[in-house]
């Protein structure tokens, strides 16, 4: 059944978020800070390793040239402009605040947990590739593996940031489900290079999330989210123009 991977992933985030929230009250504040730093370092490492992996994939295909470096830069810049215009980060925060106003949650980190977890679970290579595999071939195995990782990390996230993490399951459902449904439409333009380029941008965004978690610099990663899809638009336009 197409889309089952996303449904399982959504359930894992909800379960992990609830479990972590139940553990939260028993963790002293100083430990929460250390855990957040550990999470930040881990997220940065995931972003770096994902970026390097995709760069090596491009190198192996003898496709590493100025064109693809420029496409990465263009994707981040143009995607950022689109996201800034659409105010994606602000809208995600507003959704988190709205949920917080409707739910008797303790603590003021609801929106932070919602936004941070939503971005971590949506911009990675596994979210992109797994959703495409599920939509194109009905193979949810990558998303099943992602579900395990997300479920475990949701426990840790929620133990420090609260129940907002569990509600990040909603963007996961919409985002991954949307990619799965659209996979058939964009199939003619999808190849290994396009997917690698999308995953490369996703890895950079995950690294940026790690910077935010370590409080080194506030980067509006939500506004950069459209950058993940710019490579698809680029290759579609190039194909239509016969370049």
Q: How far is CA 200 from CA 10, 55, 174, in A?
A: 24, 7, 22
Residue 242 placed within a domain:
no
Asked, for residue 78, whether it belongs to a domain, the answer is: yes
Q: What local confidence, expressed as pLDDT, does residue 105 receive?
A: 54
pLDDT tens profile 164-220 = 999 999 999 999 999 999 887 878 778 878 888 888 898 899 899 889 888 888 899
* pLDDT score for 101: 80
What's the structural domain count of the chain? Answer: 1
pLDDT score at 223: 93
| Domain of 35, in residue numbers | 4-236
Tens digits of residue pLDDT in 218-229: 899 999 999 999
What CA–CA distance (Å, rounded) separates 233 from 220?
22
Of 230, 229, 116, which Cα lies nearest the Cα of 165? 116
Q: Give tens-digit pLDDT for 113-164.
A: 899 899 999 987 789 888 988 888 888 888 998 999 899 889 988 988 889 9
Per the listing, tokens 């133990």 go with 159
Asked, for residue 213, whether it belongs to a domain, the answer is yes
Interval 55-111: pLDDT, tens: 776 666 555 556 778 888 999 999 999 999 999 999 988 888 888 787 765 555 788
Predicted confidence at residue 15, as pLDDT, reads: 96
- The number of C-alpha atoms within 13 Å of 86 and in the hemisphere containing its C-beta is 16
Nearest residue to 168 (alpha-carbon basis) of 74, 96, 76: 96
Looking at residues 27-33, what average pLDDT do you find? 76
């Amino acid at each position: 059944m197409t889309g089952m991977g996303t449904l399982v992933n959504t359930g894992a985030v909800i379960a992990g978020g609830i479990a972590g929230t139940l553990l939260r009250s028993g963790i002293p504040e100083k430990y929460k800070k250390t855990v957040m730093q550990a999470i930040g370092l881990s997220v940065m490492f995931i972003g770096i390793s994902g970026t390097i992996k995709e760069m090596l994939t491009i190198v192996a295909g003898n496709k590493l040239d100025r064109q693809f470096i420029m496409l990465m830069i263009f994707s981040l810049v143009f995607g950022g402009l689109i996201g800034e215009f659409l105010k994606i980060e602000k809208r995600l925060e507003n959704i988190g605040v709205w949920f917080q106003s409707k739910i008797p949650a303790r603590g003021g980190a609801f929106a932070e947990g919602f936004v941070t977890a939503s971005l971590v679970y949506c911009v990675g290579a596994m979210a992109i590739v797994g959703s495409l595999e599920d939509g194109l071939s009905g193979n949810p195995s990558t998303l099943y593996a992602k579900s395990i990782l997300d479920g475990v990390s949701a426990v840790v996230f929620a133990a420090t940031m609260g129940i907002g993490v569990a509600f990040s399951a909603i963007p996961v459902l919409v985002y991954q489900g949307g990619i799965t449904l659209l996979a058939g439409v964009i199939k003619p333009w999808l190849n290994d290079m396009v997917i690698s380029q999308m995953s490369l941008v996703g890895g950079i965004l995950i690294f940026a999330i790690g910077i935010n978690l370590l409080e080194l610099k506030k980067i509006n990663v939500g506004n950069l989210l459209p950058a993940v899809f710019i490579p698809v638009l680029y290759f579609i336009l190039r194909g239509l123009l016969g370049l």
